[in-house]
């Protein structure tokens, strides 16, 4: 683990997270979907790496997260696993993998852990998922909850819209979070809800809250890797802070590479290698000899 930052060398595990909240330490979470993104996130000191089903939008080119399959999540989680040493690795349960019953949910979660190497799973929904969360936890599967905007409900919600805007809706978000905590979730993602409600939830539960578009009062923040680095397409969302423009950097690099190839300036002599002189001489003699035979 030579690359780990000396000030935060300890492995992040599920049991330490409650303690982290008690101490008032903020946690850093980021999504990742393969070996390089996971390794970069881990090396930079991210505490929790989520192999999110946002892989559907940002990597696989789907319109939303609904088509993502368990096989796709297992493959992505396995790749991410190879890049992570310190962070807690959490895998998202894709749409359809926990909706048909608790046994299905257990089977899908076990695949993410046994085949993918995840240390925990995340699923979307509050009160309605409490029984499934309880069952997973009983089977030794740590669960991260997710309330507020739940992108797998895109058709029910009519889009990826802000949630918890009315008193009734805000109360429902708080009740959802409490139900997940009572069911045994070890942390809860709060997505796109008013910061006041996120603060109330954070104060009400003992497990860390992980905000995305939910204000600074949460115990942790999460961002989508590609949004943070400017690798996403489309208009950036209000809650996204883009720390780099890697898409522009990549486009520029590839354009210059194409120019060099077309101009014949790539590769140059230092980017290729020559035959050893004695071999060159031998080959040349052979070619000359063949030439005289032909003539």
Question: Which spans of this chain sit near ligand KIV (rule: CB under 6 A)?
Answer: 31, 50, 52-54, 92, 189, 212, 222, 224
Rg (the chain; Cα; Å): 25
What is the number of alpha carbons within 13 Å of residue 265 lying toward its C-beta? 6
* Shortest Å distance, C-beta 212 to ligand KIV: 5
* Shortest Å distance, C-beta 222 to ligand KIV: 5
To the query of whether residue 259 is one of the catalytic residues in this protein, the response is no
Helices and strands, number each (H, E), in the chain: 12, 8
* Shortest Å distance, C-beta 66 to ligand KIV: 12
Question: Do β-strands 220-223 and 187-191 pair in parallel, antiparallel, or remain unpaired?
Answer: unpaired
User: Which residue is catalytic, options 119, 124, 181, 191?
Assistant: 191
Task: Give the torsion sign (CA, 41, 94, 56, 190).
Answer: negative
Query: CB 61: neighbour CB atoms within 10 A?
Result: 8
Q: Where does 126-266 have alpha helices with state H?
A: 130-138, 154-157, 167-183, 195-204, 225-228, 246-263
Task: Provide the 3-class DSSP secondary structure of residue 95.
Answer: coil
Whether the CB-CB separation of 122 and 146 falls below 8 Å is answered with yes
Alpha-carbon distance values, 165 to 19, 143, 154, 192, 193 (Å)? 31, 27, 17, 10, 7
* Shortest Å distance, C-beta 261 to ligand KIV: 36
* Shortest Å distance, C-beta 151 to ligand KIV: 7
Active site residues: 191
């Amino acid at each position: 683990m030579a690359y780990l930052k000396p000030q935060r060398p300890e492995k992040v595990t599920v049991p330490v997270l409650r303690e982290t909240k008690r101490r008032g330490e903020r946690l850093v979470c980021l999504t990742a979907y393969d070996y390089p993104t996971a390794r970069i996130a881990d090396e930079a000191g991210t505490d929790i790496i989520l192999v999110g089903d946002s892989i559907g939008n940002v990597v696989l080119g789907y319109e939303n997260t609904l088509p993502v399959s368990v096989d796709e999540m297992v493959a992505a989680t396995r790749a991410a696993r190879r890049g992570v040493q310190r962070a807690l690795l959490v895998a998202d349960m894709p749409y359809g993998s926990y909706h048909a019953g608790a046994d299905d949910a257990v089977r899908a979660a076990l695949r993410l852990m046994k085949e993918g190497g995840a240390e925990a799973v995340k699923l979307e929904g509050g009160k309605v998922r409490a029984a499934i969360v309880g069952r997973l936890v009983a089977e030794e599967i740590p669960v991260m909850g997710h309330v507020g905007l739940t992108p797998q409900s895109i058709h029910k919600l009519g889009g990826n819209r802000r949630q918890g805007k009315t008193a009734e809706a805000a109360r429902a978000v708080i009740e959802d979070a409490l139900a997940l905590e009572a069911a045994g979730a070890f942390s809860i993602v709060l997505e796109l809800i008013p910061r006041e409600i996120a603060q109330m939830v954070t104060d009400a539960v003992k497990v860390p809250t992980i905000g995305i578009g939910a204000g600074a009062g949460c115990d942790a923040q999460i961002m989508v890797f590609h949004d943070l680095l400017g690798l996403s397409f489309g208009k950036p969302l209000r809650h996204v802070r883009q720390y780099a423009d890697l898409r522009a950097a990549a486009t520029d690099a590839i354009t210059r590479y194409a120019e060099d190839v077309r101009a014949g300036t790539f590769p140059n002599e230092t980017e290729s290698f020559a035959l050893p002189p004695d071999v060159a001489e031998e080959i040349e003699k052979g070619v000359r000899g063949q030439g005289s035979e032909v003539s």
